[in-house]
Structure 1
Amino acid sequence: MSEFDICVLGGGPGGYASALYAASAGLKVAIVEKDTMGGTCLNRGCIPAKGLLQAAEVYRTVGHADTFGFKVPQGETTIDWPQVNKRKQGVVDQLVKGLEGLLKRRKVTRFDGFGTMNKDGKVVVDGKVIDADNVIICSGSVPKVFPGMELGPRVYTSDEATNSTWDSLPKSVAVIGGGVIGVEFASVYIDMGVETTLLEFMPDPILPIGTDREVANTVARSLQKRGVKAIGGAKVGKLEDTGKSVKVPYERKGKQEQIEVDQVLIAVGRTPATSGQGFAEAGVKIDDRGFVEVDFNTMATSRKNVYAVGDCVNSPGLAHVAYAEAIVAVKSILGENPVPVDYQNAPFIVYSHPEIAWVGLSEEAAKEQGIEYEVKKHPWPGNGRAMIVGETEGMFKVLAKPNDGPIIGWHMSGPWASELMNSGYYAVNWEATPSDVAHLIHAHPSLSELIGETMITFSGRSLHG
C-alpha cells in the first residue's frame, strides 16, 4: 500500500481545498508547499487586496462624513499607511493560522519545500519521493510581466503592492492594465488620494474583457469622476526608472506620449506557474501557454492518476472556481462521477468602488452567440437603502430569454454587489425565470429590493420603477 492516497502539490486555494475535502472523505493526504500556506490568494492577492480596498472605503467614508452630519476638521484626517498594512496583514496572518490548524486537525501531512515530479509521476521534495496513489497539481500562477517592464523598487506587481513595506503612499502612480487587478488597485489609489493614471491596451480602458459593457461603464464613470485618468488603446513602451521616478512612454492612435510618476503597478494578468517542475517529463501535457491540459469533466491530466486544478489550468483563475475544481478532482479519484464545473455560469466579482459582479452572459456575448433575449435594468438612486447608505452609483441589469424564459445573465454594479450577486448565481444556474423571482418577497428597506423590482418589470408592470 502507498503511504498516501493523494499528494497535493501546492498550498493555494485549489491545493488546500483538495487536501481538506479529501481528508474529510477519509483519505490519507499529503500537501507540499514551498511558501506560506494559502498561496497567492490568501497571502498576496484576494485577501490582502480586499483589506486595502476596505481601508480605502473607510477613508472615503470619513471624507464624506459631513453629509451624515459629522464635522471632520479639514486636513486633519491623514493616512497611516504602515497601520493600514499592519491591519491588513493581521487579517492574513489570522486566516493562515486558521488554515494551518484546520489542515492539522484533518491530519493532512505537510511537506515544506519546492515540489517537482519525476518520470514515474511521483512528487519529489528535497530528494524525498512521496509515495501516493494520486497527485493533484495545484502549482498556481505568477504575475505576468512584459519585456521592457522590469521590476524594481518603483515598478512592481500586485504581489508587491499587497505586501507593501513603504512608509507612505506615492503621490502618483501609473497602473498598467485595466482588468480586475488594475481596476481594484486604481480604486484603492484614487480613494487614498494618489494621482492615478490607468493605461490599457484595449480601446475600453476599464474592464475591457468579459464584463457587460453598459455595467462596466458605470464603474468607469465613477473612477474617472473621482480623478482616475483612464487611457484606452495605449501601447506601453520600455519603462525608465530615473532613480526618483518612472518615465512611462506609450503610443496611442499613432502618437507617442509619456507620463512620469512615482511608481508603476503592472497589472497585465497572470501566467501559470508550471515550468521547472518536471510535469512534461512526467507525461503531463502542457499547452503552448503553459497551462496543464485536463479533462474538465474530471480534472484528470494526460498522466494516469494525476489531476490538476486552479490557476495552473486554463479556467477563470478564481479561488472559488479552484475550490469547485478541487471537489471535482477528489470525487473523480473516489469514483463518484462528479458534476463538472459550469465555467460559463461561475460568479465573477470586482471589488472596486463601486463593486461589480456578474454571472452568466453579458449582452455582448448573447448577441455574439445569436441568443434571443429580453433585458431589464434599474439604477440605484430610487432604492431607499442605497440612499440611506449613501451609495447610489451603478445599476442592476438582467437578461432573460423571451416570454418569461430562463434568466441567462445577471449583472450588478453598486453597493455590496458582491453579496447581492449570489442570488443571481442561484437564479441563473437553476434556470429560474423572472416570474419565479418576481413573486418572492424582498425585505424593505433593503438593497435586494432592486432585484424584485427589476424582475417584476419583465411582466410589463412595475411598482416604483
Structure 2
Amino acid sequence: MSSDHDLVVVGGGPGGYAAALYGAAAGLDVAMVEKQKLGGTCLHVGCIPAKELLETAAVYRTVAHAGRFGITAGAPVVDMGAAQARKQQIVDQLHKGVSKLLEGRKVTLLDGWGSLEADRTVSVSGGESGEITLAADHVILATGSVPRTLPGFEVDGERIMTSDDLLSITALPKRAAIIGGGAIGLEFASLLADLGSEVTVLEALPRILMGADNDVARLLGRAFRKRGIEVRSGVTVNSCRSAGDAIELDIEGNDPLAVDVVVVCVGRQPFTDGLGLDTAGVKKDEGGYVAVDEYCQTSLPGVYAVGDVIRTPQLAHVAFAEAILVVKHLLGESPTPVDYANVPWAIYSHPEVAFVGHTEESAIEAGHNVVTSVHRFTGNGRAMIVGETDGLVKVIAERSVDGTGGRILGVHMVGSWVTEQLGQGYLAVNWEATVPEVAEFIQPHPTMSELFGESVLSLTGRALH
C-alpha cells in the first residue's frame, strides 16, 4: 500500500509533533509515524513527570517548614502512590491534548515503526497501522534518545536505575547514589533529598553543572550540602556489586559507598535503531548522531532531522525551534538557523538554575574583554518574604571604553523560581542588547526579577543597592 504526503515525520516527541503541527498550520499534508505514545521522552519519562514530582517535593518542603511562617502543621508524610497518580493524570491530560491538536490539524497518525528508504519513502511496520509505505516530498527524522548507561552497571530498573526508571518509583530509597552531576542528576538528587533520602552525587568532571557559570555552580553545591546532599566532583566510579541488601560502589581512590539505589544520569544517546539510515544513505557522526547542516538537513536531499537524534542541546524547546526552522526551510522561507550558543537552559533543582549565553570564563576564552555584576538574593525583599535567600544573578557584558558594560553576553541565575525569571536575560542576550538599553527598563517591586535589573544597572557605573 502506498500513500503520498507533503511531509512525513518519523517520531512523535517534541520535535516530531511540533514539526507536524507547524507544517499542517502552513497547509502541508502531513503524516506522522509513532510506535509509542505521542509526546516522547519529554512528556512521558522526562520534562513533565520530573517537574511534577519536583513540585511534590516542593510542597513537602513547604509544609515541613511551615512553622517559620507561623503555621502549625504536623510532620508531612509522603504518599508516593498518590504522587505518581497525580503525575500520571497530568501526563495523560497533556498526551490527550497533543493527540487532539494533531487530529484537529488533519495530521495522519500511523501506529508503527518507521524506517527510511530510498527516494524519501518511509516504510511502516509492527503496529496497528499494518504494513504501509509512505511517499513524501520531505521527511523529518525525530526519533529522540534513550538513557546512556555505564559499563559495570547492569540496569534492572529497581536497584540500578536510569532516569526513566526513577520517575516511576513507588517507594523512596533510604540511601541513593546519583552518578552524574548534570541537569538530570541534580534534579533527581534534589527531589530525593527533599523527600527524605540520603543522597550522594558522583561527578567525574571537576565540578557539577559544567555549562553554568562557576559562581552559579558553586552556590548550588553549597546549597545542596546545606541540605545534606553529599556532592563529590572529580571522582571515577568503576563498578558496583551487591552487598547483602545494599549496593557497593567502587570509587577510584575512595572507600566503597554503600547505597540502596543507584541512579545512572550520564546523559542520553540518539535512538536510531531500525531507522534504516545506513541503507538509505543518511550519514551519522562518530557519536551515532544524525549528521545535519545548519538547517537540520541530512546528507540525503529532502530528509531532515531534529531533536535528540542530532548533536544539539537535548532540550524540548530546542527541538521545537528546530522543527519550525525545518518547516520554514522546506517551504523556501529562508529562516535564520538556531543559535545554539544562546539557547535558554533551566534546571528545576532546589534552588533552581537558569542561564543563557556566555559564562565569565567562556567569554574571556572567546576573546571578550568582560565586566560582570553579581547580585545576591540575600538582600532581596521578595526572597526574604518567601524564605528563599540562597541565590544570585550574574550578568556578563563586554567592557566599554569607560569601563562600564556594553553588549550583554550572558545571564546566569541560581535561586527560587529563576526558571521563570530568565526571559529578560534571554531577550537581552539574543537581541544583542547593551547595558545602557536594558538598564532603563523598570522592574516591578517587590519581585525577585529586580535582581536582574539591579545587576544590569550596576554595570552602568551607578547602582541603587
Same fold (TM over 0.5): yes
Aligned ranges 1:363-442 → 2 under 5 Å: 363-403=360-400, 404-442=405-443
Q: Secondary structure at the match of 1:344?
A: helix
User: What residue in structure 2 maps to residue 198 of structure 1?
Assistant: 201
User: What residue in structure 2 maps to residue 157 of structure 1?
Assistant: 162
Residue deviations 1:64-109, cap 9 Å, x none?
1000001123xx3211011111111111111001000110001101
Q: Relative to 1, partners in 2 of residues 1:241 and 1:110: Cα closer, same or farther, differing over 3 Å?
A: farther
User: What residue in structure 2 maps to residue 321 of structure 1?
Assistant: 318
Q: Secondary structure at the match of 2:399?
A: coil
Q: Relative to 1, partners in 2 of residues 1:302 and 1:243: Cα closer, same or farther, differing over 3 Å?
A: farther
Aligned residues of 1:300 and 1:306 also touching (Cα < 8 A): yes
Residue deviations 1:159-213, cap 9 Å, x none?
111123x2x2111111001011000000001111100011111121x21x21101
**TM-fit CA distance, 1:243:** 6.2
User: What residue in structure 2 maps to residue 257 of structure 1?
Assistant: 255
User: What residue in structure 2 maps to residue 66 of structure 1?
Assistant: 67
Q: Secondary structure at the match of 1:134?
A: strand
**TM-fit CA distance, 1:124:** 1.0
**TM-fit CA distance, 1:123:** 1.2
- 1:78 aligns to 2:77 (yes or no): yes
User: What residue in structure 1 maps to residue 176 of structure 2?
Assistant: 173
Aligned ranges 1:19-418 → 2 under 5 Å: 19-73=20-74, 76-126=75-125, 127-152=131-156, 153-164=158-169, 166=170, 168-204=171-207, 206-207=208-209, 209-242=210-243, 244-251=245-252, 255-296=253-294, 298-403=295-400, 404-418=405-419
Aligned residues of 2:351 and 2:414 also touching (Cα < 8 A): yes
Aligned residues of 1:121 and 1:283 also touching (Cα < 8 A): no
Letter in 2 for 1:189: L
Distance in 2, Cα, partners of 1:16 & 1:85: 25
Letter in 1 for 2:286: D
Distance in 1, Cα, partners of 2:293 & 2:111: 29
Distance in 2, Cα, partners of 1:233 & 1:440: 42
**TM-fit CA distance, 1:242:** 4.5
Alignment root-mean-square deviation, CA: 1.3
Aligned residues of 1:434 and 1:456 also touching (Cα < 8 A): yes
Letter in 2 for 1:307: Y
Distance in 2, Cα, partners of 1:118 & 1:3: 14
Q: Secondary structure at the match of 1:131?
A: strand
Distance in 1, Cα, partners of 2:188 & 2:172: 13
**TM-fit CA distance, 1:235:** 1.1
Q: Relative to 1, partners in 2 of residues 1:180 and 1:294: Cα closer, same or farther, differing over 3 Å?
A: same
Distance in 2, Cα, partners of 1:9 & 1:311: 13
Equivalent pairs counted in the alignment come to 454
Letter in 2 for 1:371: H
Letter in 1 for 2:82: Q
**TM-fit CA distance, 1:11:** 0.4
Residue deviations 1:348-402, cap 9 Å, x none?
1111111110111001111222211110110011111111111111100001111
**TM-fit CA distance, 1:149:** 1.1
Aligned residues of 2:175 and 2:260 also touching (Cα < 8 A): yes
Residue deviations 1:392-431, cap 9 Å, x none?
1110000111123110010111111111101111001111
Aligned residues of 2:120 and 2:137 also touching (Cα < 8 A): no
Aligned residues of 2:120 and 2:136 also touching (Cα < 8 A): no
Distance in 1, Cα, partners of 2:95 & 2:251: 40
Q: Secondary structure at the match of 2:396?
A: strand
Distance in 1, Cα, partners of 2:230 & 2:453: 36
Aligned residues of 1:52 and 1:88 also touching (Cα < 8 A): yes
Letter in 2 for 1:155: I
Distance in 2, Cα, partners of 1:27 & 1:241: 55
Aligned residues of 1:18 and 1:330 also touching (Cα < 8 A): yes
Letter in 1 for 2:154: E
Aligned residues of 2:49 and 2:87 also touching (Cα < 8 A): yes
Q: Secondary structure at the match of 2:101?
A: helix
Structure 1: gaps (5+ residues) = none
Output the TM-score relative to the length of structure 2.
0.96
Letter in 1 for 2:78: I
**TM-fit CA distance, 1:256:** 4.1
Structure 2: gaps (5+ residues) = 126-130
Letter in 2 for 1:317: Q
Percent identity of paired positions between Structure 1 and Structure 2: 50
Aligned residues of 1:2 and 1:133 also touching (Cα < 8 A): no
Distance in 1, Cα, partners of 2:278 & 2:119: 12
Output the TM-score relative to the length of structure 1.
0.96
Q: Secondary structure at the match of 2:342?
A: coil
User: What residue in structure 2 maps to residue 450 of structure 1?
Assistant: 451
Aligned residues of 1:356 and 1:417 also touching (Cα < 8 A): yes
Distance in 1, Cα, partners of 2:268 & 2:92: 24
Q: Secondary structure at the match of 1:97?
A: helix
Distance in 1, Cα, partners of 2:246 & 2:111: 39
Aligned residues of 1:275 and 1:290 also touching (Cα < 8 A): no
Letter in 1 for 2:292: V
Letter in 1 for 2:267: G
